[in-house]
Amino acid sequence: MFDVYDLQSRLVEAAWPSGFEASQAKLLARLAEPYADEIRTDALGNVIVRRKGEGTKIAIPAHMDVLGLIVTDIDKDGYIRFDTIGGISSLTLLSTPFVFEDGSLAAVRAEAARIAKADNIEDFSDKRDMYADVGALGKETTERRIRPGMVAKYATHTVKLAGGKIISTPYADDLICCVSLLLALENLRDAKPENDLYFIFTAQEEVGTRGARAAAYHLEPDVCIVADVCDAIDSLSAEYPIGNKIGEGPAIKLRDGGSLSHRVIVDHLVRAAEENGIPYQFDPMVYGGTDATAMQHARGVVLSSGVSIPTRDIHSPYETVSADDVVQAGKLIAAAAQRKLEI
C-alpha cells in the first residue's frame, strides 16, 4: 500500500521546476504503471494514465511541476543572478536555502547597499537586488559548477509533525495532490469504472497551466476534476478568513481565480463523498488559478470542479497538510471517478 509520507518524500527528492520535470515524471509513471490500462508521456512532459471505461470521459489532473530559480547570469564576484520559476514572494526568497542541479547549496541574499537603504521588506521586490551565494570565490570558480539556464529548488525536506498526522514539506503544491491521485488509482485497482478516466500528472502549471491546456486539447475530455491545494484559514498568514481547516477533510472546489465550478460536477462530488462517508469542505478559492481553468477553456466546453487539499503557507519552503486529508482526497477522487456521471 502507498504511504503518504513516503510518497511525498520521494516526489520531493525527484522534483525539479516547471519545464524540467523529467525526473518526477519518470517516478510518477513507474508508480502509476501497475494501475494503468494505458500510460504514456506526451511531448510536453505530461504523464497520462488511463483507466478505460465506457462512460463520460473525465480528466483528473494534478500538476507535478514545482517552483524554483533559473540562473540568468553570474556576476564578476561569482554571485548568481536569477529569475524565479513560478510565484515566489520576495519575503519567501530572502535567506531561503536552494539546491542547484549539480548539488550546490545556496541561500538567497540581498545586496548590502540595498539593505542599508531599505525601510521595509517591500523594498526588496526587485529580484535584481538579490543574488544566490554558493560560496563564491570569483566568477571563474562559480562557473565551474553553475551556468546560466541551470535551475534550483527548495533545499528543504519532508518532515512529520504531531506524531505523523501532520506533514510539513516543500511542494505540497502540488506534489501532495499527485500523492492523492496515486492513492485514488490504488483504490480503483479492482474496480470497473463507469467512466473513461484519464489521470494526468501535468507539466508547467506554475508558469501558466501549459501542460493541462495541451492535454485537454488532445484528449477532449467531457469533465475535469482537478486536484490541487487550497488555503487553510487556520494559518496565521491567511490574509482573509476564506478557506478551510486542515484535518477536516478535502474541499470540493466551487471556483478559482479563472473558473467557476459547474453545479453538476460539484453535486456529483458531494454525493460521492456522502455515499462513502468521506468528510468534506468547500473550496471557494478567490485568488490563483488551477489546471481546471486551462481545461475548461480547451476546445469545446469542459465541465469542471475539483478536490482540494487544505494547506498552510502555500508556495513557501515548508507547506503544511494533514496526512488524513490526503488519504480522504484519494478516496473521494476514486469514488467520484467510478460513480456514473451523466452530463
How far is Cα 100 from Cα 112, in angstroms, rounded to an integer?
24
205 is catalytic: yes
Burial class (CB in 10 A: 0-12, 13-18, 19+), 296: buried
Residue 112 has a pLDDT of 72
User: CA angle at residue 149 from 147 to 151, to 5 degrees?
Assistant: 95
> Helix, strand, or coil here: 227?
strand
Q: Which fold has domain 68-154?
A: Elongation Factor Tu (Ef-tu); domain 3 (2.40.30)
Q: For residue 59, what are the contacts with CB-CB under 8 A and spacing of at least 6?
A: 198, 200, 215, 216, 219, 221, 223, 224, 225, 295, 302
Whether the per-residue pLDDT at 50 is higher than 80: the answer is yes
pLDDT at 118 over 90: no
**Would you tell me how many other CB atoms lie within 10 Å of the CB of residue 332?**
28
Give the whole-angstrom CA distance, residue 340 versus residue 193. Answer: 8
| Mean pLDDT of the 123-147 span | 88
Four-way CATH pick for 4-66+170-338: 1.10.10.10, 3.40.50.450, 3.50.50.60, 3.40.630.10: 3.40.630.10
**Which region holds residue 124: left if phi is over 0, alpha if psi is between -120 and 50, else beta?**
alpha
State mean pLDDT over 180-197: 96
The single residue listed with the C-alpha cell 534550483 is 152
pLDDT score, position 36: 98
Domains of the chain: which residue ranges? 4-66+170-338, 68-154
Cell numbers for 225:
476534476
* pTM reported for the whole predicted model: 0.94
Catalytic site residue from 38, 111, 205, 206? 205
In one letter, which amino acid is 261? Answer: S
d(CA 242, CA 104): 39
Confidence of residue 70 (pLDDT cuts 50, 70, 90): very high
**Three-class SS state of 124:** helix
Determine the Cα–Cα distance for residues 248 and 255; give it in Å rounded to an integer.
19
What's the rounded Cα separation, in Å, for the pair 310 and 315?
A: 13
Whether residue 175 is predicted with pLDDT greater than 80 in this model: the reply is yes
Q: Is the pLDDT of residue 237 over 60?
A: no
- The reported pLDDT for the residue numbered 298 is 80
- Which whole number is the average pLDDT over 227-254? 82
pLDDT above 70 covers a percentage of the chain that reads 94
Is the pLDDT at 125 greater than 80, yes or no?
A: no
Q: Which whole-number Å values give the CA distances from 63 to 241, 261, 312, 343, in the listed order? A: 26, 19, 18, 26
For the segment 213-225, what is each residue's pLDDT rounded down to a tens digit? 999 999 999 999 9
Measuring CA to CA, which residue among 245, 228, 225, 252 is closest to residue 312?
A: 245
DSSP SS3 for 73:
strand
The C-alpha atoms of residue 156 and residue 137 are separated, in whole angstroms, by: 25
* Cα–Cα nearest to 318, from 256, 250, 249, 235: 235
Strand (E) or helix (H) holding 39: strand 38-41
Q: Distance between CA 5 and CA 9 in Å, rounded?
A: 6
